[in-house]
Structure formats: structure tokens, C-alpha cells
Amino acid sequence: MSNCFLAYEQFARQLQDTGILSDAWVDGRPRFRLQGVVLPLAQARALKRAAERVGAIYQELIDLLWAHPEWLDTFFGLTPYQKLMWLSAQGRWHGIARADLFLCRDGSVQCCEVNSDTPSGEAEAVLLNQLLHPYHPAVHDPNRRLASVFWRMLVASHGGREPRTVGVVYPTELPEDLSMIALYRKWLEARGCQVVLGSPYNLHACQTGVAMFGEPLDLVIRHYKTDWWGEREVVWIDAEPYRDPDPLDGPLRTLLQAEYDGRVTVVNPFGAVVTQNKLSLALMWEAIGRFSPLARRWIRRYIPETYRLTQMPMDDMLNNRQMWVLKSAYGCEGDETVCGPYVSDEEWRDTLAQAIPEFWICQRFFSVAPEPNGRNPNYGVYLVGGRSAGFYTRLSVAATDEQAVTAPTFIAQRGI
């Protein structure tokens, strides 16, 4: 036991030496597992293929919604500022995303959701693989090209031009994703970019479009959630209203106007206000007949049955806890997710009683094939420009939440 602890301490020092990731422990326990997840080549290909197909489903959904703008009200119930973001984006939603995939006991691949708004975990995915690759023979690192792929996506988003001054907009009061922000900064500075960091409140108009702290920006990496830019709505009947429920009117209009005028590029685009909304998963099933035959096949193959909670008989939900998972429209990373098989009847009843149905979906529970140690792997596959570009694997005892342990992910060089 002591040798393992010393080995982890040594790893933690190496992690700190990167200058990007410093928090190797959380609540006194290790955040990371040093033993890597090694995917057989065929399995890795199946996961990457599934992620790309799910991305294609989302693109078809976007095209359908653009052709049926009434769904913004009748299906999604978007607020005025959410609709402003969607309409201003003109159907653009994607730069980088992460599809959370699971290998099931029956051999299928299931995608519980896609973080297409502000995907995180890049620092952990890249640095763990770099530091621990030497201890894993006969494997290759699927994340080794993530930096170059990310850069090519930014250039393509910017009309084929290399951005010179990049603003990274993020919630500066929250520490959770500082390592990812630091990694992006390192990648961009290595390309010769000037990088300016700040919150939406630091954006302001300038003669060339939009600036941050007086520096005109060519491109903005938006790591500030779309539901925080707009009106903030509580999802529980007994919840106190947000202290700051109003939209970020000034910063949002400044950024949208500059983008509309072609003076700045925003990645991810604000169209992610729809794709990040989990009601999009319900639309795939409730309106499956509207999709192409190929997309219908992929929905049935990869997306668990998902419906708006408003469409489900309450008695059926109460009596079939083991079959369903409840998720709020904009909850992420396990937040506002209640997995029926993992809670008591009382907690399930209380959740259904307090959830405001318009803001929730129910998704069919699926049984994950666990690792030999009993943990459930969540294979996050990064999509950059619609193509798979890396893995971020978390291991959990039950549903993926803040207790999950992150492991490096490698692909076997030969079939195993």
C-alpha cells in the first residue's frame, strides 16, 4: 500500500511540474488511476465510429430545427435570449464536443449525451496520456494529435485564416476548468497567438469588432455555458430563484453583433444552446420519423430511448424506477441527473414531485459492462469538426459524477 502511495505521490509531482494540472487529489483521495484503460483496436474503432455518427445525427437535427422554427417554442420552450443565440448562429453549433459513450453488457454502444457547449477534460486526457504512456508498452496514444486537430478546427472556423489574437471567455470565479484554460493557452501561444483571458463582463465593443481588456480579438473560444448567457431558470419546484437570473445582455449583444458583422469568430458557436439542451435527445425519438433512414437507424442503435418528461404518464414513471434516468435540460457532468436504479423509491418519488416537467427528460436506463474491478467506464470521445480526435475515460461505481476516477486511455497496437 505504501509503495502505491509513493508512486502516486511521484506522479502527482510530475503532474504539478506541467504547470497545468496541480490537483491530483480531491477530498483527500486520488483523482486519477495510473493504470491505463487499453482499448482493443476494434473496440476503439467502434467507439470512434459511434461518436461520429452521433455527431451526424445532431447535424441532421439542427437542419430539421432550422426548417421548423416553431419547434423552438412548441418543443424546446426556449427563452427569448436563447432564441436570439440560436438564430444569430444561423445553424452553426459545432467546433469541439465530447460524446459520452458506454459499452453495454449486450455488446452495444450507447451515448447518454453529448457535451457540445463547453466540453471539458482535455487537460486530464492529454497530460495523463503523456505522463503515463511510457509505462504502457505496445499501445499508442489516441490523444497525441488533439492539439493540432484543435488548431486546424479553429483555422477552419475562422474562414481558413490563422487567428492572431484569441480571447478565451470562461467563468473566472470557478476553478474547475482552469487546467483546460491553461492548456488551451499553451497550445495557442505555441502557434504564435496572443491569448487574452477573461469573463463575459470583460468583453467590450471596439472599432474592429470586439475586444477584451482593450485588446481587439480575432477569435473567441467560448467556455461559458449558453444557459448562463441567457435567462437562468430553476428546474425544481422548491428551488429558490437564481440571484442573477437576467441574461448577460450587454456582453452577449456585443459579441453577437461583432460575429454577425464578420469581425470575430466564436467557437463553440452559440447554436450549441440547442444541441446542449437534452430535449434534443427527446426530439430524436419523439420525431424519429422526420429523420433520414440512415439517421433513424443510428438513433435506434446509439441513443437510448429518450422522451420529454411532459409526455410520460406519471404513474408509469413512479412504478418503473428501474427503467429510467431523469436529466434536466442543461445539467452536465452528472449534475441534475437522477439514475432510477441507483436511488430509493422515496428519492425517486421526491424527484418526480419536485422536478418542473418542462425542463426534464427521461432516458431509458442501460446496463454498462464493468471493468474487472467493477467500475463502469464512461468513454468520452472528443469530436473536433465532426471527426473523433481523442478519449477521456472516467471510471465510476454507479453513474458518472464528481466521484469518478479519470484514467489514461490507450489503444492496443495489435488486436487483443
pLDDT tens string 317-364: 999 999 999 999 998 766 799 999 999 999 999 999 999 999 999 999
Neighbours of 217 (CB within 10 A): 28
Q: Could you tell me the pLDDT band of residue 5, with boundaries at 50, 70 and 90?
A: low
Q: What is the pLDDT of residue 372?
A: 87
Q: Where are the alpha helices (DSSP H) in 261-369?
A: 272-275, 279-286, 293-302, 314-319, 345-354
Contact 169, 222 (CB under 8 A): yes
The domain segmentation of the chain, as residue ranges, is 32-412
Report pTM: 0.96
Q: What is the CA radius of gyration of the chain?
A: 21
Q: What is the pLDDT of residue 2?
A: 42
Contact 357, 326 (CB under 8 A): no
pLDDT tens string 16-51: 999 999 889 988 899 999 999 999 999 999 999 999
Strand bridging mode 360-364 / 306-308: antiparallel
Q: Could you tell me the pLDDT band of residue 1, with boundaries at 50, 70 and 90?
A: very low
For residue 15, CA distances in Å to 12, 21, 130, 132, 180 come to 5, 6, 10, 10, 14
Q: Where are the alpha helices (DSSP H) in 35-108?
A: 41-67, 71-74, 80-89
Instruction: Spell 273-306 as b/e; 16+ CB within 10 A means b.
Output: bbbbbbbbbbbbbeeeeebeeebbebbeebbbbb
User: For residue 104, what is the DSSP state?
Assistant: B
Q: What is the pLDDT of residue 414?
A: 74
Q: What is the C-alpha separation between 151 and 133, in angstroms, rounded?
A: 23
pLDDT tens string 122-153: 999 999 999 999 999 999 999 999 999 999 99
DSSP letter string, 167-219: EEE--TT--TTHHHHHHHHHHHHHTT-EEEEE-GGGEEEETTEEEETTEE-SE
Q: What is the C-alpha separation between 404 and 376, in angstroms, rounded?
A: 9
Average pLDDT over residues 147-174: 98
Structure-block grid coordinates of residue 29: 483521495
